[in-house]
Amino acid sequence: MKELYTWAAIGLIIGASTTGDVLLSHAMKRVGDVGELWKRHGLFSVIGRVLATPTFFLGLVAMAVAFYSLLFALSWGDLSLVVPASASLTFVANAFAARIFLHERVGKRRLLAALLVAGGVALMAI
């Protein structure tokens, strides 16, 4: 039962964090380069622009779900399993989600990089 809870929570972390990453990335692209905005219009202008973007809040909700799933998973499983397993599979899920929903050019280079990083993170757990 302990393993079932751990892997169910890991699955929820992957789904929620991928959704959150895509929504937050979409929101921040609409806001623009925050460094430049900060320099030209000030910090409050940056905060205002971010808060005025609806996908930012949806992304936050998805990230909150991922965060509590992580706490739940960590209470049942080992850090050395939960973090690398969820992180490595999230890399792969994000590569596909970014291509489909954000229209990023995920060519061979980035797909290979996602697989290398995913494999590397998984090996770090050993």
Determine, following the binding rule CB under 8 A, whether residue 47 of this chain makes contact with other proteins: no
Q: Name residue 103's amino acid.
A: H
Q: In this structure, what token pair is assigned to residue 50?
A: 């971010």
Cβ atoms within 10 A of the Cβ of 63, count? 17
Give the x/- contact pattern for other proteins in 12-31, rule: CB under 8 A. Answer: ---------xx-xxx-xxxx
Tally: H helices and E strands in the chain? 6, 0
CB of 81 to other proteins, least distance (A): 11
**Distance between CA atoms of 126 and 122, rounded to whole angstroms?**
8
Minimum distance between the CB of residue 77 and other proteins, rounded to whole angstroms?
Answer: 10
Minimum distance from residue 54 beta carbon to other proteins (Å)? 13
Q: Produce one character per residue of 24-56: b if its CB has 16 or more CB atoms within 10 Å, e if not.
A: bbbbbeebeeeeebeeeeeeeebeebbeebebb
The nearest distance, CB 33 to other proteins, in angstroms, is 4
Site string for other proteins, 66-105 (x = CB under 8 A): -xx-xxx-xxx--x---xx--x--xx--xx--xx--xxxx
Under the rule (CB under 8 A), what is the footprint of other proteins?
Answer: 2, 5, 21-22, 24-26, 28-37, 40, 49-50, 63, 67-68, 70-72, 74-76, 79, 83-84, 87, 90-91, 94-95, 98-99, 102-106, 109-110, 112-117, 119-124, 126
